[in-house]
């Protein structure tokens, strides 16, 4: 259960993205492309800011990771809805490519909710790279038009990143935050400690 007590400054940037998402969708519905594009840029900027602050001020936490993931997901949904409205021709031309990472993402979410009862918040290096490429592509498309090599790069990185997330779910018996990637996870003491506890019981 989320409350508004004892949240730090990085958490509040995540809250901004969460609360901004419905308003972004309303702006899409009203057809204001330029306003939507600038506010979407602002939301993506807060994602970079909260991550920087959390690391700089050493205020990272599982709660913060979960809020950050929620904000990222809602911003991505708002961005995609914006593309459906303002760049429908491009989306309809490329929908088969888009369906591949989207289907994998849905599978990953189903596995995560079945196992952890909530979405993952691994925040791997690949996930961060994928998020940056997605943001750059979506914003560039809205402001200037499509860049196809960037689009295909986004698709490929998104596929690889989602597969890694699925592998990490199977590696970790319990929900954890802040995993750099599959290679690092194999030697993660949190996973090893849980395995030892299960062997002792």
Could you read off the pLDDT of 60-95 as tens digits, one per residue? Answer: 777 777 888 899 999 999 999 999 999 999 999 999
149: domain range? 88-135+145-201
Domain count across the chain: 2
Distance CA 107, CA 105 (A): 5
Query: Are residue 156 and residue 124 in the same domain, yes or no?
Result: yes
Nearest to 74 by CA among 154, 30, 17, 33: 17
Question: Quick one: DSSP state of residue 177?
Answer: B
Nearest to 76 by CA among 116, 127, 33, 35: 127
Query: Are residue 22 and residue 71 in the same domain, yes or no?
Result: yes
Query: Are residue 79 and residue 92 in the same domain, yes or no?
Result: no
Query: What is the reported pLDDT for 58?
Result: 73
* Ranges of the chain whose pLDDT falls below 50: 1-3, 198-201
Query: Are residue 99 and residue 151 in the same domain, yes or no?
Result: yes
| SS3 of residue 136 by DSSP | helix
Query: Are residue 176 and residue 97 in the same domain, yes or no?
Result: yes
Query: Are residue 112 and residue 78 in the same domain, yes or no?
Result: no
Q: Please, what is the Cα angle at 127 between 169 and 143, to 5 degrees?
A: 145
| SS3 of residue 121 by DSSP | strand
Query: Are residue 70 and residue 120 in the same domain, yes or no?
Result: no
Residue 2 lies in a domain: no
Query: Are residue 177 and residue 104 in the same domain, yes or no?
Result: yes
Residue 197 lies in a domain: yes
Query: What is the reported pLDDT for 66?
Result: 83
């Amino acid at each position: 259960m989320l409350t508004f007590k004892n949240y730090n400054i990085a958490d509040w940037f995540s809250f901004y993205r969460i609360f901004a998402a419905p308003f972004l969708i309303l702006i899409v519905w009203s057809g204001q492309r330029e306003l939507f594009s600038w506010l979407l840029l602002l939301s993506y900027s807060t994602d970079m800011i909260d991550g920087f602050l959390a690391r700089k001020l050493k205020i990272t936490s599982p709660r913060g990771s979960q809020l950050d993931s929620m904000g990222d997901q809602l911003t991505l949904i708002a961005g995609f809805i914006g593309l459906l409205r303002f760049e429908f021709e491009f989306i309809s031309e490329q929908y088969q490519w888009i369906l591949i990472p989207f289907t994998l993402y849905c599978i990953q979410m189903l596995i995560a909710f079945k196992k952890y009862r909530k979405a993952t918040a691994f925040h791997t290096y690949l996930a961060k790279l994928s998020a940056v490429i997605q943001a750059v592509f979506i914003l560039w498309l809205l402001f200037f038009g499509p860049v196809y090599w960037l689009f295909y790069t986004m698709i490929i990185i998104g596929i690889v990143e989602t597969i890694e997330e699925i592998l990490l779910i199977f590696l970790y018996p319990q929900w954890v935050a802040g995993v750099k990637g599959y290679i690092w996870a194999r030697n993660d003491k949190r996973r090893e400690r849980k395995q030892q506890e299960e062997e002792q019981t």
